[in-house]
Structure 1
Amino acid sequence: MWDANELRRRFLESGADDDLPIADAHQHFFDVERNYYPWLADKPVQNFRYGDYDRIRRTFLPDDYFRAAGHHKIVQTVLIEGEWDPADPLGELRWVESLRREHGFPHAMSAQAWLDREDVDAVLDVYGRHPLVRGIRHKPAAVARADHTNDFVAPGSMRDPKWRDGYAKLREHGLLFELQVFWWHFNEAAELARDFPGTQIVINHTGLPADRSEEGLKGWCDALELVAREPNVHLKISGICIPGQRWSVDANTRIVRTAIDVFGARRCSFASNYPVDGVVDRMTDIFDGFKTIAAPYSIANRLALFYDNAVEVYGM
């Protein structure tokens, strides 16, 4: 395994992609033989954003991850909860602990919690005291763009009082929040960031810019600009796949560079979202694509995007 400090030193001198250390800010491990993930084990989700995900309904462990990473020098990873059995939210942490002991990965974790459930205090208390856990993810209730209004509120949404009561507890436990929601809900996200300025929000998957029409991209960019005004929001650039197409530089350059232009290179992190993004392409190709798109940026900004920012946000 590579030494991160040595790679940083070499990259700052050379600027060569071969020397670039990567802290993968969003990845998953699954063991479908041992553990229960409803979305992988049960009837497939009909509206999965990438289409048919049959190829990833399988076990994916650290050895599989590093085979998929190929030549890329990934030195640290952040594991994001994998929609484990909701009846046993702490079970995934116990399992991830065992992976960490055996393989040395991951280096940080954002775990499963349900902010509007009665067990939220007990669950957050465990996470807040655990050295591996940096945050939690609970996907808030959302609707299709055509059904969304500026005053949207629903049970389990970011404006639901019960959900917000649970969210308010994150700061006392020192936990950040992984926000995975469609970009048209970013007005609610901006409100959440303002109302709870002491809690770090990390937006997952670039706000899910699936609609690549000019109108869709303008809406997404406007939403990014709105939420980027809040200083406690960080953006992960991942999950920008197009159903039925391989990941490509041509398709994604505008997405990546717009995201960086809006948030700034010090408030974004690249991430693989593997194996989920494996529905459309190989991890080697995705990271190669990120490197190609990021090539015009300075050495310091490239190092921040691929490594330093994730290390800072997740305290690795």
Structure 2
Amino acid sequence: MRIDAHHHLWDLKAVYYPWLMAKGEPRFFGDPAPIQRDYLIDEFTTDAKAHGFAGSVHIQVGAENPLYEARWVQSVAQANPDWPLVQVAFCDLTADSAENDLDQLQSLTSLRGVRQIVGRAPGEDAQSGTNFLLDDPRFAAGLKGLAQRGLGFDLQLLPELMEKTAKVLEQAPDTKIALCHAGSPHDRSAAGLAEWSKNLQHLSALPNVVCKLSGLGMFDHSWTAESIRPIVETVLEQFGPERAMFGSNFPVDSLPATYAKIVEAYETLIPTEMQSKVFAETAIEFYDIPVPKA
């Protein structure tokens, strides 16, 4: 079986997502208009099952009330026992309420970790100021505390922040870290990819960090298998297949590509002997996904 280690779902009647309801506002990943609608488990699994996937990891996606979103995802998981679904929820690790928030989230059996975005895109980060997390000692302490709870952290950031982030992560060596979207290599020029690869080494050198091959269409809407080849090969070289996993980033990455195009590109680029780990085993181990025993 294969595991999609990074995707989203939303029911706009059940949970409010401010960014999804903001009409006519383009984002760094494109015009969100085509996905400003319900995106439910049946639509997702129809695509995923066609390519051998049989379980997945839901990643928080900017709900106004993160606990409402997490509870809704839990209800989806419980209603679909034949599809192992675990989740990474949002928690502000710098908030005074963080410990209480984590207590509430951990009442959900599907919870495996949290995500608090450090960096999305250069333009948006300049407005949102999310990078301040790296200078806040409460963030570092929160990361360290996740290990004591048996939780991981999904890390989304930009290449320019990797060296500084690695120094923060060194303070939480026991916390499992999943780097989202290969570290968001937004500059796809030869020089940009070389700089991304150099910065990535600060994270790949940490044994508790794994890397997701996901979201590569957000910064290149006309991508091809050949155009992302350098990214895939670099990730596999630095992390190895035992620390790399596949994620569709659907439905966000449905804006530039079909699910089939994404999967088929990675099937072409990932050596056959590595595919069982990248498409399944790494994610199953990292996220403790309950899969049927052979």
Pairwise same-fold verdict (TM > 0.5): yes
1:37 to 8, 13, 17: 17
Q: Is 1:92 aligned to 2:72, yes or no? A: no
Which residue does 1:17 correspond to in 2? Answer: none
- The whole-number CA distance in structure 1 between the counterparts of 2:23 and 2:136 is 29
| Distance (whole Å) between structure 2 residues aligned to residue 179 and residue 139 of structure 1 | 7
**1:132-163 deviation digits (Å, cap 9, x = unpaired):** 11100011267839x99xxxx98742221232
Following TM superposition, by how much is the alpha carbon of 1:246 offset from its aligned partner in structure 2, in angstroms?
3.9
2:186 maps to amino acid: A
Letter paired with 1:98: S
Post-superposition CA distance 1:12-65 (Å, at most 9, x none): xxxxxxxxx31000011111133201110124554x222212111111111110
Cα shift at 1:108: 1.1
Q: SS at the partner of 1:90? A: helix
Percent pairwise identity? 30
Instruction: Provide the rounded CA distance (Å) in 2 between the counterparts of 1:32 and 1:167.
Output: 31
Partner of 1:108: 86
SS at match of 1:210: coil
3-state DSSP class of the match of 2:250?
coil
- Residue 242 of structure 1: CA displacement? 5.5
Q: Which residue of 1 aligns with 2:6?
A: 26
Kindly indicate whether the alpha-carbon contact (under 8 Å) linking 1:206 and 1:238 is maintained by their aligned counterparts in 2.
Answer: yes
Residue 52 (structure 2) aligns with: 73
Q: Aligned equivalents of 1:98 and 1:306: distance in 2?
A: 26
| More deviation, 88-97/23-32 | 88-97
Cα gap change, 1:311/1:185 in structure 2, threshold over 3 Å: closer, same or farther?
same
The one-letter amino acid paired with 2:40 is L
Q: Which amino acid aligns with 2:15?
A: N
Q: Which runs of 5+ in 2 are unaligned?
A: 290-294
- Equivalent position amino acid for 1:311 in 2: I
Cα RMSD for the two superposed structures: 2.3
Matched, 1:117 2:90: no
Residue in 2 that maps onto 1:137: 115
- Residue 203 of structure 1 contacts residue 235 of structure 1 at CA under 8 Å; is this kept in 2? yes
2:5, 2:283 within 8 Å by CA — same for their partners in 1? yes
Q: Which runs of 5+ in 1 are unaligned?
A: 1-20
Task: Summarize the alignment of residues 186-197 of structure 1 with structure 2, pairs less than 5 Å apart.
Answer: 186-197=162-173
Deviation (angstroms), 1:102: 1.8
Q: Alignment partner for residue 232 of structure 2, among 256, 272, 280?
A: 256
CA 1:311 to 1:126, structure 2 compared with 1: closer, same or farther past 3 Å?
A: same
Amino acid at match of 1:35: V
**Quick one: structure 1 residues 263 and 113, their matched pair in 2 at CA, closer, same or farther if it must change by over 3 Å?**
same
Q: Match for 2:32 among 53, 61, 81? A: 53
User: How many Å separate the matches in 2 of 1:135 and 1:259?
Assistant: 22
Q: Deviations over 1:201-255 (max 9, x none)?
A: 1100111112111110011000111211110101000111165634421211111
Alpha-carbon distance between aligned partners in 2 of 1:266 and 1:244, rounded to the nearest angstrom: 27
> Contact between 1:269 and 1:310, CA under 8 Å: does it hold in 2?
yes
Contact 1:142–1:185 under 8 Å retained in 2: no
2:140 and 2:169 in contact (8 A); partners too: no
Cα separation, 2, equivalents of 1:260 and 1:141: 23
1:50/1:311 CA distance change after superposition, 3 Å? same
CA separation in 2, counterparts of 1:142 and 1:40?
Answer: 16
Sort the Cα spacing of 1:200 and 1:247 in 2 relative to 1 into closer, same or farther, 3 A: same
Give the Cα separation in 2 of the matches to 1:142 and 1:161: 21
Distance 1:303 1:290 in 2: 12
Are 1:307 and 2:280 counterparts? yes
In structure 1, C-alpha distance between the alignment counterparts of 2:254 and 2:116, rounded to whole Å: 23
Q: TM-score, normalised by structure 1?
A: 0.84
Please tell me whether Structure 1 or Structure 2 has the larger radius of gyration of its CA atoms.
1
CA separation of 1:143 and 1:255: change in aligned 2, threshold 3 A: closer
| CA pair 90-154 structure 1, distance change in 2 beyond 3 A | closer
CA 238–139 in structure 1, closer or farther in 2 if over 3 Å, else same:
same
Give the Cα separation in 1 of the matches to 2:24 and 2:205.
Answer: 37
Alignment size in residue pairs: 285
1:280 aligns with 2:256: yes
- Inter-partner Cα distance in structure 2 for 1:142 and 1:76: 26
